[in-house]
């Protein structure tokens, strides 16, 4: 009966917008995810014993892998490959800017918009699953800023190239990165940057300017550490990744007195985000820049392969600002989904009518965005208040709020990828023709026939996409419960073997609600970005 109702809803919504939107997740997969979520919830409530932290189980250093381990070590301890990759990404970035400023303003024909919003943003989030925060190592914003300020291609620059001021304490956190994320989302969805090559190029230039000014004024790379919304997003998601830079032998780091990984060497810059490899426990601020691998005199740093999600489950220690960034990340990813629904614009027009808004209805959009961000925050805060009540308020609010935020990060990560899969496999159609003519010279907008063909012939079959999206939502839900099962008893400081099952209820309900909202959003037809 439930499957029949879901199928009717899905078919009705799809038929009303056929040819203009991506199809939503099929009813069969929705039913599968809902049943699986129910079973996992029962598992959590019946398995309330204190979970033990595994002792380095499943951790393998890439250095110890046969055949490839030592070859990878040779590559990452030398700057050649990394420098070439930075030059390549910087060249592509400059092409994007040039195309945006001087090419056609037809978004789907210009490489500035198609590469940035269809391929890059989707690809960089998906890449976290495989290479963690490695994108930051070849980031063109940082590469260009470094070359302009340090005036070195890869070697350590002069101390006189920057004022090297200490970042003011008031912004020595990632609140600026959260603010940048909100502004970028407003520009992307409210102002329409995604469909304007010129605005995309200006935004890219602005970020480079900010990174350059930050490097010229503050010590090390304050932009990467405190301000960059993309870097902090990848850093947050990096706790789920199965790969990270870590010591090969912890004993070597324990006996090291010079700490080149932190201070740098004669040729290599110090760690840009003030990390010491020997005490590194989480990926949050590691940019995989290669400074530690190249400066370590013992060549004791390499990639480490570990179980997916172990870091965020067992070793990550979120601070107050990091927990709010996670909550903001969740709110903004869900908000993206709402704005892609066909009836979002109708809601905004109705709101504009009520408020007297006109023109681009930016005021109405801003109100809608504010409400969409506020609702998850209020629901999460209510869940924490309920949890505190059940616990007898034995833990302070900030500690409970921060610790439980880690359990909702997989929900944002899973939906972020699932949402972007449809854009990636459908809207990247025809990208080869854009590469051949990046400025879109003498091109016209897509015809209705071309739009229809893109819609009907994705790069990957719909059934595969639906399976991946359902698996991702289920993965996010399972990972959230796994984190909750370990962290909540640790928070309560329970030394016994059993924890009351009722203490899990507030966060279980919140996690379930967000997962079902994400699932519902994936069911809806989604407007093509361009």
Task: Summarize pLDDT for 445-480 with one digit per residue, the tens.
Answer: 877 777 766 666 777 788 899 999 999 999 999 999
- DSSP assignment of 367-391 equals HHHHHHHHHHHHHHHHHHHHHHHHH
What digits encode the pLDDT tens for the residues 298-357?
Answer: 999 999 999 999 999 988 888 999 999 999 999 999 999 998 888 888 888 888 888 777
pLDDT category, 146, cuts 50, 70, 90?
very high
Q: Packing angle between helix 2-16 and helix 505-523, nearest 10 degrees?
A: 50
pLDDT of residue 1: 43
pLDDT of 26 reads: 87
The residues, ordered by sequence, that sit 6+ positions from 138 with a Cβ below 8 Å of its Cβ are: 82, 85, 86, 88, 89
Report which secondary-structure segment, H or E, holds 302.
strand 301-305
Any idea which of 269-273, 354-358, 371-375, 512-516 has the lowest mean pLDDT?
A: 354-358
Residue 328 CA to residue 312 CA, distance in Å, equals: 17
Provide CB contacts within 8 A for 387, sequence distance 6+.
400, 404, 503, 506, 507
pLDDT for the residue 50: 59
Which tokens hold the place of 206?
């602005």
Q: Tell me: the pLDDT tens digits for 158-172?
A: 878 899 999 999 999
Q: Highest mean pLDDT range out of 3-7, 40-44, 114-118, 199-203?
A: 199-203
Q: Is the pLDDT of residue 428 over 90?
A: no
Q: Which range scores top for mean pLDDT: 5-19, 72-86, 389-403?
A: 72-86
3 Cβ contact partners less than 8 Å away, ≥ 6 residues apart: 27, 28, 31
pLDDT of residue 207: 96
Report the pLDDT averaged over residues 431-439. 90
Three-state DSSP at 392 gives coil
Q: What is the pLDDT of residue 56?
A: 64
Average pLDDT over residues 231-248: 93
What pLDDT does residue 360 have?
Answer: 65
Contact 204, 96 (CB under 8 A): yes
Under DSSP, the state recorded for 393 is S
User: What digits encode the pLDDT tens for the residues 204-239?
Assistant: 999 999 999 999 999 999 999 999 999 999 999 999
pLDDT at 5: 38
Contact between residue 89 and residue 139 where contact means Cβ atoms under 8 Å apart: yes
Residue 162, C-beta contacts closer than 8 angstroms, at least 6 positions apart? 149, 150, 215, 216, 217, 218, 219
Tokens 């209705």 belong to 448
> Which pair of tokens denotes residue 17?
């917008």
Joined tokens for residue 174: 């990632």
- Mean pLDDT is lowest, of 121-135, 168-182, 391-405, for 391-405
Q: What confidence score (pLDDT) does residue 181 get?
A: 96
Residue-averaged pLDDT of the chain: 87
Residue 51 pLDDT level (bands cut at 50, 70, 90) = low
Res 18: pLDDT = 38
Instruction: Summarize the confidence of residues 376-382 as an average pLDDT.
Output: 96
Rounded alpha-carbon distances, angstroms, from residue 176 to 243, 287, 395, 475, 488: 27, 18, 28, 30, 29
């Amino acid at each position: 009966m439930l499957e029949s109702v879901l199928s009717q809803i899905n078919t009705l919504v799809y038929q009303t917008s056929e040819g203009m939107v991506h199809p939503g997740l099929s009813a069969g997969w929705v039913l599968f995810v809902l049943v699986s979520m129910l079973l996992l919830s029962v598992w959590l409530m019946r398995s309330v014993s204190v979970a033990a932290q595994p002792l380095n189980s499943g951790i393998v250093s890439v250095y110890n892998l046969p055949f490839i381990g030592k070859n990878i070590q040779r590559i990452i301890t030398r700057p050649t490959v990394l420098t070439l990759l930075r030059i390549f990404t910087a060249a592509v970035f400059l092409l994007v800017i040039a195309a945006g400023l001087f090419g056609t303003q037809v978004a789907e024909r210009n490489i500035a918009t198609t590469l940035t919003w269809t391929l890059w943003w989707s690809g960089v989030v998906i890449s976290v699953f495989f290479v963690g925060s490695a994108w930051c190592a070849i980031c063109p914003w940082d590469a260009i800023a470094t070359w302009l300020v340090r005036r070195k291609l890869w070697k350590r620059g002069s101390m006189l190239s920057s004022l090297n001021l200490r970042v003011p304490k008031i912004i020595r956190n990632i609140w600026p990165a959260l603010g940048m994320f909100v502004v970028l989302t407003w520009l992307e969805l409210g102002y329409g940057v995604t469909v304007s090559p010129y605005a995309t190029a200006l935004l890219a230039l602005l970020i480079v300017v900010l990174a350059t000014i930050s490097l010229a004024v503050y010590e090390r790379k304050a932009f990467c550490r405190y301000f960059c919304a993309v870097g902090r997003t990848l850093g947050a998601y990096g706790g789920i990744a199965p790969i990270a830079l870590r010591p090969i032998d912890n004993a070597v780091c324990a006996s090291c007195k010079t700490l080149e990984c932190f201070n740098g060497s004669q040729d290599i810059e110090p760690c840009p985000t003030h990390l010491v490899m020997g005490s590194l426990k989480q990926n949050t601020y590691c940019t995989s820049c290669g400074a530690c691998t190249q400066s370590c005199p013992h060549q004791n740093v390499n990639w480490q392969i570990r179980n997916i999600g172990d870091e965020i489950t067992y070793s990550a220690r979120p601070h107050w600002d990091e927990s709010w960034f996670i909550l903001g990340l969740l709110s903004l990813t869900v908000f993206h989904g709402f704005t892609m629904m066909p009836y979002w614009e109708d809601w905004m027009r109705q709101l504009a009518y009520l408020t007297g808004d006109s023109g681009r209805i930016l005021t109405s959009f801003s109100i809608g965005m504010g409400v969409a961000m506020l609702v998850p925050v209020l629901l999460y805060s209510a869940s924490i208040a309920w949890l505190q009540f059940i616990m007898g308020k034995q833990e302070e609010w900030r500690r409970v709020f921060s610790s439980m935020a880690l359990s909702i990060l997989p929900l944002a990560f899973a939906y972020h990828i699932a949402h972007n899969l449809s854009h990636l496999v459908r809207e990247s159609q025809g990208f080869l023709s854009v590469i051949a003519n990046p400025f879109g010279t003498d091109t016209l907008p897509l015809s209705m026939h071309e739009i229809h063909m893109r819609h009907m012939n994705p790069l990957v079959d719909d059934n595969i996409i639906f399976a991946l999206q359902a698996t991702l939502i289920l993965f996010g839900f399972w990972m959230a419960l796994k984190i909750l099962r370990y962290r909540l008893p640790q928070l309560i400081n329970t030394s016994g073997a059993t924890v009351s099952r009722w203490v899990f209820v507030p966060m279980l309900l919140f996690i379930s609600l967000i997962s079902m909202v994400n699932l519902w959003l994936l069911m809806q037809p989604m407007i093509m970005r361009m």
